[in-house]
Amino acid sequence: MQPLRVYSVVPKLPAKLKPLWDLAYNFWFAWNDDIRDLFAQADQALWRECQGNPVGFLNRLPQKTLTELAADDFFVERVNALRASLTSYLSRKTATIPFPAAETKEPVVAYFSLEYGISVSLPIYSGGLGILAGDHLKSASDLSLPLVGFGLCYQQGYFRQYLTPDGWQQERYPISDFEQRPMSPVMDAGGKRLTVAIELADQKVLAQIWRVLVGRVTLYLLDTNIPENQPHFRQITARLYGGGLEMRLWQEILLGIGGIRALAALGLRPKVIHMNEGHSAFVGLERIRNFMEVNKLSFEAALELVASSSVFTTHTPVPAGNDRFPPELMAPYFEEYARKLGLAFKVFLALGREDPRNESEPFCMTVLALRLSRFNNGVSKLHGAVSRSMWRRVWPQYPAEDVPIGAITNGVHVPTWVSHDVAALYDRYLGGNWREDPDCPRVFGQAEAIPDAELWRTHERLRERLVDFVRARLHEQLVARGAKRRELQIAEEVLDPQALTFGFARRFATYKRANMLLQDQERMVKILRDAPRPIQFIFAGKAHPQDNEGKKIIQQLVQLCSTLECRHNLVFLEDYDMDVASYLVQGCDVWLNTPRRPLEACGTSGMKAMANGVLNLSTLDGWWAEAWRPDNSIGWAIGQGEEYDDPAYQDFVESQTLYNVLENEVIPTFYDRGHGNLPRAWIKKMKAALATLSPVFNSHRMVEDYARIAYVPALENYNRLVVNDYAAAKDLASWRMDMMTKWSSIVIRGVASADMQQIHVGEPVEITTEIYLNGIRPEDVQVEIYSGPVDYEGNFAQRETSVMQLAKTGQDGWSVYKGSAKAAEAGRFGFTVRILPHHPLLLDPHSLGLIRWAEMQP
């Protein structure tokens, strides 16, 4: 029996407590300890039961409790003070990012991501990609960046993990009641829920829009679970990364195409688009279609406008992590769409292929995003280099170092991840502005002023809190599995609050090598059982539901944790989420990270730990490859950044290195105690890491980098291209087509330099060449000398470029160019000549894929 009508029933808050709704419906509480403490003060047990969800918490508070709280003058005073703080925060619009004043009245940047990790009370994230997106929004809010977010609203989110008695991962999918979350539906002018429509193989699908307030930034989420849709389409937003390949395609069509349509429905007109991973690449296609339909631009002109104002961040160096769809799956959904773009379907598919001529190659979302953006980046310096090599087939004529993919290293939102205790310490010794200005070296440079004893006692309290949390969580796990009383008693005694504690928590993909410690199990157990200097490990993490190899690693660890030798020193915590992560990154002594280089894009969990004074021990991959210091003054490295052809041999070598570092460096440093039982050398490393790494590896610095390197230039590009009825966009498209037509006929000949067998360091080599441009204007090309040291195989080991100048134009179409190159160091030195396209609106000449190299002359 179904009801005729359904109502939302909410508690009747006394007038004095109504400001609680404002505090509950803005995720500012996710990085404001005072607001969370206020809710916890009302009912500690219920707050824990509600998992930090203030809306669900208020809806479950008994009316009697609300009446009592309204009569508590001190509580009411705190409510009003925090509401005033929120109002003050929202009203401050001072921005450190130089957007033009006229561009800050509405969102300039639209940020698209398939997942967001903002708080455990909004479970629409799976791991690092989502947490990074959440931190991006939080820093954009703190910095008053004119940005709006778009994503999908998953009713079952990512799976919740539980283990069978033998340690095998199982998945469950609890259903979220969005009415009980800090989010609200967007209504249209008639008071009905606002929806947008997409087409999936000629079938109409509607999505309603939810609004989520993240400080000063708004996040909009699309939801297809509404009665107007067929049952299978209602499942599009059921699970994050759930279903098969076709479901993934549906989700990405909804995010990209539906997201752009939602922008229009909301009356928002951002000029810059940021695609966070390839999942959202269809956003570029829909923008192109809009400019063609509304502004009557050609496909080429619309593409130039869209690409020139789009930013793309790639996050994975693992091929399997880049979505690829076979042509036969794409056809029902995009053949008609391609016609709307004025493209043959084969030409459309070529936009997503590394080799446009290979008709059997799947359509890759990452390739599409790369082609539809002029601002492409990896998420660490090493990942940028890996990405340039990985995607060089998209620009086959370029050496890997010239592939147009840069790097903006990730960061973490420090106020979210720093513990309450450490935050109080920072308030006393760094000053209150560490939250607003965490990327200022002067602020965190004051970490050296924190007294050793105070820093260490604070850290010890967090370790003790972590041990208490682990024991309680483990007890819950065992009860759920039907454990015996003896096992429950052991759970209450696991870990030592005074022992050296290692944390390892992340996605259990095989390349992250959570089982590296098990390579020599006998040696590992011996280290664990060294009673005078005990160490202990806490593991947490999920394997993808279809990743049986990852599940096997979890099972191996869980079974080792239950052995007599290890059950007090090794623990695996189920159902890793933001809450578990907070306890771990705040309470461990060492954050262990063992990815197989170079497969870790960044690894932000280590940054969160570092911000709490936790030291890192990691392979030199991701962020640690650029953060680590060879003198081990801020933490330790496993190896020296070597890369191996044999993964099994790499695992063996690096596991032995790990054991050696543990035995000879980490453990002795921790247990070397001076006066007052303080590990002075350890504390020195903690302070050095805080002072040197915190100002760099935080999301404020990251967002400011995006603004400076990508957002502002993309905005300026957009504004230049749209004036005078998009004249510049049309001109750029026409110029590009002219380049494409004539480029193959460009010829380089007669490259000449002085005939010298030897030159001195710093001595210029004068070089001339003749160029035939086939009717292309000299100002439309850039002729460069490409020079540098040469390795034993005759390849450039490094390179520098210098522009050659037009010296003479002949009547026969040949032009003479001159320039010079210098060798900065002694050794083998070489040069060649190349030609690139040049246009004042083309920020990166490599983006068009056009280049002409001088050929070897007989």
Question: Tell me: the pLDDT tens digits for 62-90?
Answer: 999 999 999 999 999 999 999 999 999 99
Long-range contacts (CB closer than 8 Å, 24 or more residues apart) made by 666-669:
666/500, 666/590, 666/617, 666/636, 667/500, 667/527, 667/530, 667/533, 667/535, 668/533
Measured distance CA(455)–CA(608) in Å, rounded: 17
Query: For the chain, what is the radius of gyration of the CA atoms?
Result: 29
Position of tokens 């996040």? 219
> What are 330-370's pLDDT values in tens digits?
999 999 999 999 999 999 999 999 999 999 999 999 999 99
> What are 804-816's pLDDT values in tens digits?
999 988 777 899 9
At 26, which amino acid appears?
A: N
> What are 680-696's pLDDT values in tens digits?
999 999 999 999 999 99
Mean pLDDT to the nearest integer, 420-439: 91
Mean pLDDT to the nearest integer, 214-228: 97
Highest mean pLDDT among 284-288, 395-399, 505-509: 284-288
> What are 521-554's pLDDT values in tens digits?
889 888 888 767 899 999 999 999 999 999 999 9
Question: Which pLDDT value is given to residue 323?
Answer: 95
Question: Which pLDDT value is given to residue 826?
Answer: 82
Q: What is the DSSP string of 556-625?
A: HHHHHHTSTTTTTTEEEESS--HHHHHHHHHH-SEEEE---TT--S--THHHHHHTTTPEEEEES-TTHH
Question: How many other CB atoms sit within 10 Å of the CB of residue 340?
Answer: 14
Q: How would residue 97 be classed by pLDDT, with cut points 50, 70 and 90?
A: confident
pLDDT at residue 299 tops 70: yes
Q: Helix, strand or coil for residue 104?
A: coil
Mean pLDDT to the nearest integer, 818-837: 88
Question: Which pLDDT value is given to residue 155?
Answer: 95
> What are 692-729's pLDDT values in tens digits?
999 999 999 999 999 999 999 999 999 999 999 999 99
The bridge status of strand 852-853 relative to strand 160-163 is unpaired
Measured distance CA(654)–CA(638) in Å, rounded: 6
pLDDT at residue 101 tops 70: no
At 153, which amino acid appears?
A: C
> What are 168-201's pLDDT values in tens digits?
999 999 999 999 999 999 999 999 999 999 999 9
Question: How many other CB atoms sit within 10 Å of the CB of residue 144?
Answer: 18
Measured distance CA(667)–CA(53) in Å, rounded: 40
Question: Which pLDDT value is given to residue 26?
Answer: 98
pLDDT at residue 234 tops 60: yes
Question: Which pLDDT value is given to residue 102?
Answer: 66
Question: Which pLDDT value is given to residue 157?
Answer: 93
Q: Which residues pair with 111 in a beta bridge?
A: 149, 274
Q: 251 near 238, Cβ under 8 Å?
A: no
Question: Which pLDDT value is given to residue 98?
Answer: 74
C-alpha torsion sign, points 54, 55, 56, 57: positive
Q: How would residue 756 be classed by pLDDT, with cut points 50, 70 and 90?
A: low
Q: What is the DSSP letter of 433?
A: G
- C-alpha angle 150/152/153, rounded to 5°? 125
Cis peptide before 598 (omega within 30 of 0): yes
Question: Which pLDDT value is given to residue 599?
Answer: 93
pLDDT at residue 436 tops 70: yes
Q: How would residue 858 be classed by pLDDT, with cut points 50, 70 and 90?
A: low
Question: Which pLDDT value is given to residue 528?
Answer: 86
Mean pLDDT to the nearest integer, 820-840: 88
> What are 823-832's pLDDT values in tens digits?
878 888 889 9
Q: How far is CA 564 from CA 113, 235, 412, 417, 525, in A?
A: 45, 46, 38, 35, 11
> What are 6-32's pLDDT values in tens digits?
666 667 889 999 999 999 999 999 999
Average pLDDT of the chain is 93
Question: Which pLDDT value is given to residue 564?
Answer: 84
Q: How would residue 798 be classed by pLDDT, with cut points 50, 70 and 90?
A: confident
Mean pLDDT to the nearest integer, 482-499: 87
